[in-house]
Amino acid sequence: MAIWIFGFERGRLMQLFLFASMTPELDAEQLNRLGGQPRLGVTPSDPMGTTVRRIDTGQGGNRIVARTCARMLPGMNPTQKDVDWAARAHHDKFDQRFPALKGLKMQYSWAGHLCLSLNGVAVMHEVDAGVFAGCVQNGLGTTRGTLTGIGAAELACGETSDITRHFSAETPPKRLPPRPLAKIGANAVMRWREWRAGAE
């Protein structure tokens, strides 16, 4: 995100937002109706499907978290309308997956930022004198973010490694179409992929 803000790789990075919702804490009667394990995680094979997590008291209460829906927002400011749109989709998908709790309203809904490049490359190099970037995780935040962060730190210390060599060899991010076209096209493709993912 900082690279976009400071003007590096301008016109080459896609600013996406993913949306999630969380139930209120489930009471004893709801937990009994739900049954099953107190913790679970389901990740769809289709990236535009729905990720579901069930957490317990050790993780913030007996709740269910659902993540689906994405929007490209180049200005990096999701509106309440964007969050409400996604929350409606979460509610419908929740009812499909958990009929025993059908009608339960979500307590929280939010958006989280994700940065991608069109050709799937990261940005890990010295972007200005003494300024090193390790970003653009392309949806692989934990893994790619850790590696690019290590690589940027190593470069800042004047060291090289397999990590710095790998990311330094990547081509630059591909240029995106002009902003209005990129936003319209990306959002149309994501809507189609979400429709194609169906109930997954």
Instruction: Encode the chain (200 residues) as per-residue pLDDT tens digits.
Output: 444 445 678 888 888 899 999 999 999 999 999 998 889 888 877 777 788 999 998 888 899 999 988 888 877 788 999 999 999 999 998 998 899 999 999 999 999 888 888 898 999 999 889 999 988 887 766 788 899 999 999 999 999 999 999 999 999 999 988 877 878 888 788 788 777 767 66
Residue 38 sits in the same domain as residue 86: yes
Determine if residue 133 is left, alpha or beta; phi over 0 gives left, psi from -120 to 50 gives alpha, anything else beta: beta
11 in a domain, yes or no?
no
What is the model's pLDDT at position 200?
63
What type of residue sits at position 30? Q
Regarding whether 96 and 45 lie in a shared domain, the answer is yes
Q: What's the confidence (pLDDT) of residue 26?
A: 95
Q: 135 lies in which domain range?
A: 123-168
- The residue out of 114, 136, 153 marking a domain boundary is 114
> In one letter, which amino acid is 140?
L
Q: Quick one: 75 and 32 in the same domain? A: yes
Domain assignment present for residue 108? The answer is: yes
The strands making up 63-72's β-sheet, listed across from edge to edge, are 40-42, 51-55, 63-72, 13-22, 108-117
Tell whether 101 and 45 lie within a shared domain: yes
Q: Is residue 58 part of a domain?
A: yes
- Judge whether 149 lies within some domain: yes
Q: 51 burial class (0-12, 13-18, 19+ CB within 10 angstroms)?
A: middle
Helix then strand then coil, in percent of the chain rounded to 5, is: 40, 25, 35
Q: Are residues 54 and 138 in the same domain?
A: no
Task: Select from 70, 68, 60, 59 the least CA-distant residue to 96.
Answer: 68
